[in-house]
Amino acid sequence: HHRLAEAVVQGYQGDDGDLGRPGRMMATLKHFAGYGLALAGRDYAAVEASPATLMRIMEPFRAAIDAGAGAVMVAFSTLNDMPATAHRVLLTDVLRQRFGFKGMVVTDFTAINPELVNHGIAANAREAAYLAFTAGVTVDLVSCAFLNHLEALVSEGRISEAEVTARCRLVLEGFPDLSAGHGD
């Protein structure tokens, strides 16, 4: 699994990882984590797994991260009763701190809103945005929860402007063509 993960990342990003070169694209690892263990193999279904099982199935993710993968897509599912999109232990403690991932954490289609509301852990889109952001999500795909609510969350003092800036920087650094020639 380790060699396969490394080969996939190198195939997309090149041996040198320079995404600014022609024919390169960022490798996105998906779906983090345990999505293949969903009950009855159904999309959106819950995942129940022991820490030992989770660490085994996360090893290919770790190998791909070590190979320089630029993005990780979060699973739609819950992981041991917590939606992965709002799972701070999974996204910050394991992915960022334990695995040393420095790239972008992206959601799947509408995983913040309405999925976190549908899972019953957020009362509305603003709370869903807060939970996903504080868990460690960088990019909200499709739901527009970050676009519509991060400014208000900063105004309310629940997240800082510096945290939003740091997430934006991750995106710009991940795409050299977007950040080329721009200062801090």
Catalytic residues: 108
Strands 82-83 and 78-79: antiparallel
88, 136 contact by CB (below 8 A)? yes
Alpha helices in the chain (DSSP H): 2-13, 51-66, 88, 115-118, 125-135, 145-155, 161-174, 176-179
- 9 phi-psi bin (left φ>0, alpha ψ -120 to 50, beta other): alpha
